[in-house]
Amino acid sequence: MALRTLASRKTLAAAARPLAAAAAARGVTTVALPDLPYDYGALEPAISGEIMRLHHQKHHATYVANYNKALEQLDAAVAKGDASAVVHLQSAIKFNGGGEAKSRPPYPFLAYGFLSFFFFILFIAGDAGGGGSEELGGGICVLLWLIWIGLDGRGSVLPQMENRIGLGGHVNHSIFWNNLKPISEGGGEPPHAKLGWAIDEDFGSFEALVKKMSAEGAALQGSGWVWLALDKEAKKLSVETTANQDPLVTKGANLVPLLGIDVWEHAYYLQYKNVRPDYLSNIWKVMNWKYAGEVYENATA
């Protein structure tokens, strides 16, 4: 009886508030749709104004709205100690954001995942049978989940907790808009200075990099992104792909995105139909290498 009382929803909500407050303090907040640094039609003929308008006002805006809505619902579920709602909302937050960082310690994750699943089963069983295990299982399930997203397996709050809960859909598109620039303003001009030298060193030539990124983007099954990344530890450039709206950090915590190309069909279908290679061939005409070079120099300073 005492254990059930300890794990009751009311007690759980009180226990969860400090973790929720810690999460908020680390920057897990609502986000806003950014303005584009150019007009919708400024990238034509490489990318049509219609595509840019829909991509920004509909697709990116939907990721922002759904992410913010899921965060609000998560706060409410935590306050109520609603285990099933917390579990359900993880998928919504992940899709409108991104995947979890794969560089974190694996064993605590597996332990928390197993225990959370076990107590979630107790929660379901309690609901079905009307027994007291609903309070115990549901309470412990939510509490374990909250502890895991708030801690990194060593007892400290993660400095970049947004990578756990996800901001991929929003962050990926925010990077993408800055990666593009009208031809009249220098879009498509090859990189110079440090980034240009690094590309020659790591890929052999600028043309070889473009060919590699285009090939990997065309070969990516389903939806996702192709990236030019800087590994800050190895001090090397690499080409990476991520599925769906997973951010680049899911491929490694040390990777910095210099360029990201959206290869979801919504980025090109109205103009290029199902011929993704044509889209990937033309997007280089409006690539903002100046922006990529600035990110590179800041990351290597």
At residue 205, the pLDDT reads 98
Report how far residue 299's alpha carbon sits from residue 123's, in angstroms, rounded to the nearest whole number. 47
Residue bearing the bigger pLDDT, 183 or 158: 183
At residue 209, the pLDDT reads 98
Report how far residue 45's alpha carbon sits from residue 34's, in angstroms, rounded to the nearest whole number. 23
Quickly state the pLDDT bin for 4 (edges 50, 70, 90): very low
Report how far residue 41's alpha carbon sits from residue 48's, in angstroms, rounded to the nearest whole number. 6
At residue 186, the pLDDT reads 96
| Residues 248, 240 contacting (CB under 8 angstroms) | yes
Longest C-alpha distance within the chain, in Å?
A: 73
Average pLDDT of span 130-153: 48
What tens digit of pLDDT does each residue of 170-225 get? 999 999 999 999 999 999 999 999 999 999 999 999 999 999 999 999 999 999 99
Report how far residue 179's alpha carbon sits from residue 286's, in angstroms, rounded to the nearest whole number. 8
At residue 37, the pLDDT reads 96
Through-space distance between the first and last CA atoms of the chain, rounded to whole angstroms: 59
Average pLDDT along the chain: 76
Which phi-psi region, left, alpha or beta, contains residue 244 (left: φ > 0; alpha: ψ -120 to 50)?
A: left
Quickly state the pLDDT bin for 260 (edges 50, 70, 90): very high
Residue whose tokens read 């192709």 = 226
What tens digit of pLDDT does each residue of 232-241 get? 999 999 999 9
At residue 86, the pLDDT reads 58
CA-nearest of 267, 247, 262 to 102 is 247
pTM for the predicted model, two decimal places: 0.68
Give the contacts of 66 (CB within 8 A, at least 6 positions apart): 92, 95, 96
Over the range 50-69, which residues count as b (16 or more CB within 10 Å of their CB) and which as e?
Answer: ebbebbbeebbeebbebbbe
Which phi-psi region, left, alpha or beta, contains residue 34 (left: φ > 0; alpha: ψ -120 to 50)?
A: beta
What tens digit of pLDDT does each residue of 27-86 get? 457 889 999 999 999 999 999 999 999 999 999 999 998 888 877 777 676 666 666 665
Residue bearing the bigger pLDDT, 1 or 263: 263
Is the N-terminal amide bond of 45 cis, ω within 30° of 0? Answer: yes
Inform me whether the pLDDT recorded for 230 exceeds 90: yes
* Domains within the chain, CATH numbers bracketed: 2-28+47-165 (no CATH), 168-300 (3.55.40.20)
Residues above pLDDT 70, as percent of the chain? 60
Average pLDDT of span 266-287: 98
Average pLDDT of span 8-33: 55
Inform me whether the pLDDT recorded for 95 exceeds 80: no
Sheet holding 255-262, edge to edge: 236-243, 224-231, 255-262
At residue 31, the pLDDT reads 86
